[in-house]
Amino acid sequence: MDTFAKSRGDRLFDFLNYCLFSVILLVVLYPLYFIIIASFSDPNAISEGEVWLIPQHITFEGYQRIMNDPTIWSGYTNSILYTLVGTGVNIVLTLPAAYALSRSDLVGRKIVLGLILFTMFFSGGLIPSYLLVKSLGLLNTIWALVLPNGVVVYYLIIARTFFQVSIPDTLLEAAQMDGCSNTRFFAQVVFPLSLPIIAVMVLFHAVMHWNSYFAAMIYIKDKNMLPLQLILRDILISSQQGAIVGDVEDMVMRQRVAELVKYGVVIVGSLPVLILYPFLQKYFVKGIMIGAIKG
């Protein structure tokens, strides 16, 4: 009887869990689904509440307006370049620093870590940062977007925790007995064993660089160097401004196009990240859980 009651309770618990997580999944995914179907639905149908599950009066006018803008392709090229270079710099700087800070035999490790953590809470501010970038001659260059964020302290701590948990000291001692140097040990032993955290770092930094726009607004003045996010922002602003200029009939048409563009730019800007994430998901979950075990 006890076994039957327990199994029934387990089934009830599983049922409630499925219901709860189904609701959470619906709440998370439906806004994205709505944006997708709204991006090629008639704006009039959207405003009248007809679009909620399937698209109505399908039109691709919004995407045509976005893709026909010649700056969209330069924005894509720039964002891909900034993301690749920026992520590469982040990985090259973050992983060796995280491994060094994870070593218990590093002299002054706590002091160095304390100084690094200090930068998480205090910074010079926007104006000093701009003056520094300008004095280094980095304005209107890719390095103005890459170097100031070369090491993100939060991600550095995650990688450091991963190395502390996953790379035992006995492995280093065995390698040193065979005459292995620290550099060789990191390159040939630590690096191959760190694929989960590398995938996590790549995903985190790539998304950060892809969605970044504020630094480009401050440091980039050449329109040919603007990232995709700022290009999409300009397209959206111009379409909305055009919607309030002209006669009534023209205003209605422009507002209709502005609504289509608004949803379309969200899809265009998010599509590369949505494509990348499934390939890194298993490493993402494994790496972030390992990195959270020990502080």
Report CA Rg, the chain: 25
pLDDT at site 284: 65
With CA atoms as reference, report the closest residue to 83 among 198, 203, 214: 203
With CA atoms as reference, report the closest residue to 72 among 227, 210, 221, 208: 227
How many angstroms separate the CA atoms of 133 and 172, rounded?
A: 40
With CA atoms as reference, report the closest residue to 196 among 117, 292, 282: 282
Q: Which residues contact 114 (CB under 8 A, 6 or more apart)?
A: none
Helix axes 153-166, 248-291, angle to 10 degrees: 30
How many angstroms separate the CA atoms of 293 and 295, rounded?
A: 7
Between 259 and 217, name the one with better pLDDT.
217
With CA atoms as reference, report the closest residue to 146 among 215, 201, 202: 215
How many angstroms separate the CA atoms of 211 and 271, rounded?
A: 12
Q: What is the pLDDT of residues 32-77, one digit of tens each?
A: 888 888 888 888 787 777 888 888 888 888 888 778 878 888 888 8
Q: What is the pLDDT of residues 133-148, one digit of tens each?
A: 999 999 999 999 999 9
- Band (pLDDT 50/70/90 cuts) for residue 209 is very high
Over residues 231-250, the mean pLDDT reads 64
Asked if the model's pLDDT at residue 251 lies above 70, the reply is: no
Q: What is the pLDDT of residues 260-278, one digit of tens each?
A: 777 888 888 888 877 777 7
Q: Three-state DSSP class for 213?
A: coil
How many angstroms separate the CA atoms of 255 and 3, rounded?
A: 64
Cβ pair 34, 49 in contact under 8 A: no
Best-predicted range by mean pLDDT among 7-21, 38-52, 206-220, 227-241? 206-220
- Band (pLDDT 50/70/90 cuts) for residue 240 is low
Between 168 and 90, name the one with better pLDDT.
90
Of 3-7, 18-22, 119-123, least confident by mean pLDDT is 3-7
Cβ pair 94, 159 in contact under 8 A: yes
pLDDT at site 286: 63
Percent of the chain with pLDDT over 70: 87
- Band (pLDDT 50/70/90 cuts) for residue 89 is very high
Q: What is the mean pLDDT of the chain?
A: 82
Q: 219 phi and psi, to 5 degrees?
A: -100, -15
Over residues 251-264, the mean pLDDT reads 73
Q: What is the pLDDT of residues 163-185, one digit of tens each?
A: 888 888 888 888 888 888 888 88
Asked if the model's pLDDT at residue 1 lies above 50, the reply is: no
The Cβ of residue 77 has, within 10 Å, a number of other Cβ atoms equal to 13
Query: What domains lie within the chain, and their CATH numbers?
Result: 61-291 (1.10.3720.10)
Percent of the chain with pLDDT over 90: 22
Q: What is this structure's pTM?
A: 0.79
- Band (pLDDT 50/70/90 cuts) for residue 3 is very low
The per-residue b/e assignment along 215-224, b for 16 or more CB within 10 angstroms, e otherwise, is bbeebbeeee
Asked if the model's pLDDT at residue 80 lies above 80, the reply is: yes
